[in-house]
Structure 1
Amino acid sequence: MDPFKNSALTSILVISNMAHAKEFYVKKLGAKIYREYGGNSLVLEFLGNWLLLVTPGGPTKDKPETHFTPPINKHKVSHSFTIRVQDCKQSFEILKERGVKFITPPVDHGAETRCFFHDPDGHLFEISEYRQQ
Structure 2
Amino acid sequence: MTHFIVSDDVERSRRFYTEVLGGRALRSGVPSIIEFHNGWIIINEGGGPTDDKPTVVLETPQDPDRVSSFLNLRVSDIHAVYADWSARGAEFITPPIERGHPEIRCFLRDPDGHLIEVGQTTRPGGWPPKAP
Shared topology, TM-score over 0.5? Answer: yes
Q: From 3, 10, 17, give the equivalent of 1:18.
A: 10
What does the per-residue CA deviation read over 1:29-86, in whole Å, with 9 as the maximum and x for residues that have no partner?
Answer: 11111123xx421111111112110111112233222211011111011111221111
Unpaired segments ≥5 residues, structure 1: 1-8
Q: From 56, 73, 83, give the equivalent of 2:73.
A: 83
TM-score with structure 2 length normalisation? 0.86
Secondary structure, counterpart of 1:13 in structure 2: strand
Query: Does the 8 A contact of 2:14 with 2:34 survive in 1?
Result: no
Q: Percent identity?
A: 35
Taking the aligned partners of 2:98 and 2:51, their CA distance within structure 1 comes to: 48
Aligned to 1:45: 35
1:112 aligns with 2:112: no
Secondary structure, counterpart of 1:76 in structure 2: coil
Taking the aligned partners of 1:66 and 1:27, their CA distance within structure 2 comes to: 31
1:59 aligns with 2:12: no
TM-score with structure 1 length normalisation? 0.85
Aligned to 2:82: 92
- 1:62-73 equivalences under 5 Å are 62-73=52-63
The Cα shift of 1:28 comes to 0.5
Taking the aligned partners of 1:132 and 1:61, their CA distance within structure 2 comes to: 46
Amino acid at match of 1:125: I
Q: Which runs of 4+ in 1 moved over 6 A?
A: none
Query: Does the 8 A contact of 2:64 with 2:113 survive in 1?
Result: yes
Aligned to 2:130: none
How many residues are treated as equivalent by the alignment? 123
